[in-house]
Every structure is written in structure tokens, then in C-alpha cells.
Structure 1
Amino acid sequence: MLQLRRAQDRGLADHGWLKSFHTFSFADYHDPAHMGFGNLRVINEDRIAPGTGFGTHGHRDMEIVSVVLAGELSHQDSLGHRTVIRPGEIQRMTAGTGVRHSEFNHAPGEETHFLQIWLLPAARGLTPGYDQRAVDPQAVRGRLHCVASPQGAGDALQLNADASLYLGTLDGEATATLPLAAGRRAWVQVLRGQLRAQGHTLAAGDGLALWDEPLLSLSHGMQAEVLVFDLAA
């Protein structure tokens, strides 16, 4: 089974300094038909104006993943981390029993464009934690490469959630597939460009939900970058 979620149908919050597209219900945007997908709760595509950002605020019992597409995102948290996330990097924060953090765009004259993703954790009350990794461009070229998983094998971040995340870049005749075990579901989120997934053409910002499908097939990429979630039912 398939369900398309077109970019133009997402919720939009325009705060001037922040423009945020919500794939699922978030904050003041509420759509009973789009409350999440499996244990995937939030995909927000954010653009932060230079010199602005999210002041210190708190989270609990959530796995939070950030993927920067352009610009840079400065992160500071109550665990003592002070980092900058740039394109080609992925960050995971385990909120667990509670963490406070801020996220700012300190780059002059350049917008920060990034995805913030929330996943329901495998258990409540986890010890808060943080990790950040660079993604090898060669590893994702023409295929889906695991960048986060419960096992954290290889160069993947370890997630405290029943989910695996895959990044891929496709162009021209390149194709990529991902087998889906029985009872699993998948979400495809196009970050840039255009491609075909299960025969449907998807452009930047589009999403596709899959369930009861044994195999995800991606093809016909046009400078496409895609993020795929293998999720618990």
C-alpha cells in the first residue's frame, strides 16, 4: 500500500525568521489524517534566517535527528555539547529524561536549511545523549546507505528507536532498492531534486508512505537526494 504526501499539502508556519513545513501535525498545525507514521512523529523542513534561531528549550522522551542541507546549525545543550552541524553531517539527540538545547544560524548572510526529525524512542526515561557524524558522499552515491540504526553499525549513528535511516543520491540511470521485512513500513522523503519511487514521481519536499510492500525501488533520479526510514509497524 502507498500514500503520497505532496510538499504543497504540508503544514506551513511562517514566523518571519523561520519558515517551517510540517509533514505531520506539529505545534499549531493539526491534521488528524497526518499525526505521524508508525514511530515517525515529526519531519519538519526548516529555513532559519541569518542571526536567528531557536532559543533554549526542553525535550523529553524523543529521539531527535537533524540533517542540514545548506548553511550551518549551531547546537548547544545542557549536556555540555557545543557543536556546529553542516551539510553532509547528521546529528542525533536522545532527549530521554530531559535535555535543554538551543539551535542558531550564526552564519552571516546565509540561510540555514535543515530537516528536524522526531522518532518515538524504544523506551521512556532513557539517559540523555548526543552524537554527530559526517556522511561519506561516496557511500550514498547511487545507493541507499544506512546512516542511523538501533545497532549503530559501521559509520551509522546509534538510534534508541526501532528505526533505520538511509540516505542516497541518485542521478541518471542509477537505481536503488531496499527490502522491507514483513510487518515493517517505510517512509520516503525527497530532500532535493526528483526521482521515481514505486512508479510515482516525487520532487523535493514530497513524501511517500509504504506498508505491506516487500521492496522499495527508487530510480530516474534527477540530482536527487533522498532520506528513507525503515520503521516499526
Structure 2
Amino acid sequence: MMYQRKSEDRGYAEFGGWLKSMHTFSFADYYDPKFMGYRDLRVINQDWIAKSSGFPAHPHRDMEIITYVLKGAVEHRDSLGNVGQIKAGEIQTMHAGTGMRHSEYNPSETEDLQLFQIWIMPDVVGATPGYTQQSFTREQKLNQFKLIVSKDGREGSQKINQDADLYASVFTEGYEQEFALRSKRGAWLQLAEGELDVNGQILKSGDALVVEEENLKIKALKETEFLLFDLR
């Protein structure tokens, strides 16, 4: 089984000139009963945050929240006392658990911020809240599937409370590689920027593809950065 989620078909929201957001799944005021999530993947928002702007402190609970920065940097503050900046190429992982508050802000006075905000449903309710951040270089992701998030933290990845693997990749033009999907698992492939041929389907910036019951044959038609979720 395979189907595409075109970039232009995503939900769109704009707030006060400081935030533009594309919603892959139903979120806030955007509702599409056909796109409420995929397996344990609940949210993929691609956000553009203007300079010196951001989200004020707000609460979360019982959700695994991953921020993958594409351009610029995001400043994070939370109720656990964590303060830090996450730059392009870095990720932060937040286990909301029993509840925590955090804010996200673009500290730059000159550069807009672009990121993926990702929510994954946890496999445990009422977990202890936690926060980590980690850098993954372009070289680590270049022409390979670099594991950045997993249940068990293998290969130096960030741990989350769910049997979900998240890979980050940058494929150069013409490079191709196959991803072997395990039995009864589903893959969600999300492009950030570029163009791919995946099992004969052409994907462009912002597009996504779901693949089940077959391996993914991925070829870059131009340099492409993408995320690949391997979900139970």
C-alpha cells in the first residue's frame, strides 16, 4: 500500500504575521477526518517563525514532542529549568508525560526560523517529564539513513516512549538507496526540501509518502533533505 500527501494539500495557518504553519494532520483549527495522524504519528507541522518572535509558554502532557530545526535556531525554555538554543541540524526531544510547560522563540533579529514540530503518541501514560537535545551533522546524514530517534536509543539516537524509529537524511543528486521495511511496520517519508523518486512516485519539497508492505527504493533527483519514520 502506498499513497502521497502533497505539500499543497496540507492545512495552512498564519498568525499575526509572525507564524506560518503547514499542518500534515488535523491540528488546531484545521480538521480533515482523513488525516488525523498515521499509526502513532500524530503531528507534523512545518513552521516558519519570523525573527524575534515565537510561542509563549504553553502546556503539554502525555506526548513525545520532537523539534527538528531546518534553518535558523530556536530558543527553548521549560518548566523543568531547561534553557538552550537548538540550531539547524539539531533536534530536541521532550517527554511531556505528567505535564510540563515550554516556550519556543526565534532569538535572531535578522533570520527567520524554519522547523518541523513532530508529535508521537507515547506507549505509556503519566511518564516522568524530560528533555534532551542533540546535534547531528550534515556528514552524519549524508547519503545514509541516520537514526536520530528510537525507543531504545541505539546508535546514539534520542530515546522516546514509543516503538518508533526516526531517520534523517540528506541525499545528493543521483544517489539512491533502499530502505528495508520490517514486517507489519509502516513508513512515513517527509520531504523538507528537494525532490525524490520513491518506488516510482515523484515527491517534491513538503510532500510526504506512506509505504506499507514493501521496501522503499529512494533516488534523489536533486539534493534532498528528508525524514523517514518507521512506525509499528
Query: The TM-score by the shorter chain falls in which range?
Result: over 0.9
Partner in structure 2 of residue 72 of structure 1: 73
Partner in structure 1 of residue 136 of structure 2: 135
Partner in structure 1 of residue 52 of structure 2: 51
State how far apart, in whole Å, the 1-side matches of 2:70 and 2:161 are.
24
Unaligned runs of 5+ in 2: none
Q: Once the two structures are superposed, what CA deviation does each residue of 1:30-70 show, in whole Å capped at 9, x if it has no partner?
A: 00010000000000000011111100000000000001111
State how far apart, in whole Å, the 2-side matches of 1:220 and 1:74 are.
32
CA drift at 1:89:
0.4
Partner in structure 1 of residue 8 of structure 2: 8
State how far apart, in whole Å, the 1-side matches of 2:140 and 2:200 are.
25
Partner in structure 2 of residue 110 of structure 1: 111
State how far apart, in whole Å, the 2-side matches of 1:165 and 1:211 are.
16
Q: Once the two structures are superposed, what CA deviation does each residue of 1:177-202 show, in whole Å capped at 9, x if it has no partner?
A: 22111110010000111111111111
CA drift at 1:160:
1.1
Partner in structure 2 of residue 189 of structure 1: 190
SS in 1 for 2:126: coil
Partner in structure 2 of residue 148 of structure 1: 149
- TM normalised by structure 1 equals 0.97
After superposition, residues 1-233 of structure 1 pair within 5 angstroms as 1-15=1-15, 16-213=17-214, 215-232=215-232
Identity %: 43
How many equivalent pairs are there? 231
RMSD, aligned α-carbons: 0.9
Asked if the contact 1:143–1:177 (Cα under 8 Å) also holds between the matched residues in 2, the reply is: no
What stretches of structure 1 move > 2 A for 4+ residues in a row?
none
Asked if the contact 2:173–2:224 (Cα under 8 Å) also holds between the matched residues in 1, the reply is: no
